Amino acid sequence: MSSLFNARQNDALVETINISFGLAASLIGDMLESYVHLRVPSIHTIPIYKLHETILLQMGETTSFYATKQRFFGSFGGEVIFAFSEESGEEFTALLLRESTNSNEEVQAALLELTNILTASCIGQLSQMLEGESLFAVPDIQKISCTGSSTFHEALEYDNAIVITTALDVAEKNIQGHMFILLSNSMLEKLTQMLKKMFL
């Protein structure tokens, strides 16, 4: 898969996110009262105009999916979108509530709590490494139909998206979420410079 990062920068980013996910895994483990392992199987970047088609591609054969959106402001600013298939959303909610559910509200509440942790830990870690600060806006969650038109028009104010597949291994289940960090060219450049410095 193509990426705006070279192989070493890509590895550095994976490592950084893995570190941040260590804390996230411990918090999610507390939530689920179970051992949780968070992995990052892949990272790549895409131009922003490919966001909608990439999300649909990652969702595979499903009619609808859950997506959370959250902006972050400050010296490191952008937006995070998390996409979960209906199946992954329901599986995670069942683990949290200890019973199966297909209630839209319950799944949305559970996923929001999960992405709160993932976003705060990941963006928090990146901000810290950039020696900056990020403030988070109130997130939003929606169930989106795969056949409808794109609901990510606002994303066009950014230039790139870092696509991070996150795998949550818990109680013999593998729940996959797809994180998209939307950044302007200048923010991406800032991040690239920071990743370069990691090897100096």
List interacting residues with another protein (CB under 8 A).
23, 26-27, 30-31, 105, 108-109, 112-113, 116-117, 120-121, 124, 136, 138-141
Nearest distance from residue 116's CB to another protein, in Å?
A: 4
* 134, 77 Cβ separation under 8 angstroms: yes
Residue with tokens 């928090």: 124
Nearest distance from residue 104's CB to another protein, in Å?
A: 9
Residues forming a β-bridge with 144: 65
Q: Which residue number, 29 or 159, has a Cβ lying nearer to another protein?
A: 29
Q: Which residue number, 11 or 113, has a Cβ lying nearer to another protein?
A: 113
Q: Which residue number, 110 or 161, has a Cβ lying nearer to another protein?
A: 110
Nearest distance from residue 184's CB to another protein, in Å?
A: 22
Alpha-carbon span 77 to 134, nearest angstrom: 7
Q: Which residue number, 139 or 167, has a Cβ lying nearer to another protein?
A: 139
The gap between the terminal CA atoms of the chain, to the nearest Å, is 26
Nearest distance from residue 159's CB to another protein, in Å?
A: 26
Residue 99 has what DSSP assignment?
Answer: S
Q: Which residue number, 15 or 30, has a Cβ lying nearer to another protein?
A: 30
Nearest distance from residue 87's CB to another protein, in Å?
A: 19
Q: What are 127's two structure tokens? A: 């901000």
Nearest distance from residue 146's CB to another protein, in Å?
A: 18
Q: Which residue number, 42 or 64, has a Cβ lying nearer to another protein?
A: 64
Alpha-carbon span 153 to 150, nearest angstrom: 7
Alpha-carbon span 164 to 44, nearest angstrom: 7
Enumerate the H helices of the chain as residue ranges: 7-32, 51-59, 86-97, 104-129, 185-197
* 107, 90 Cβ separation under 8 angstroms: yes
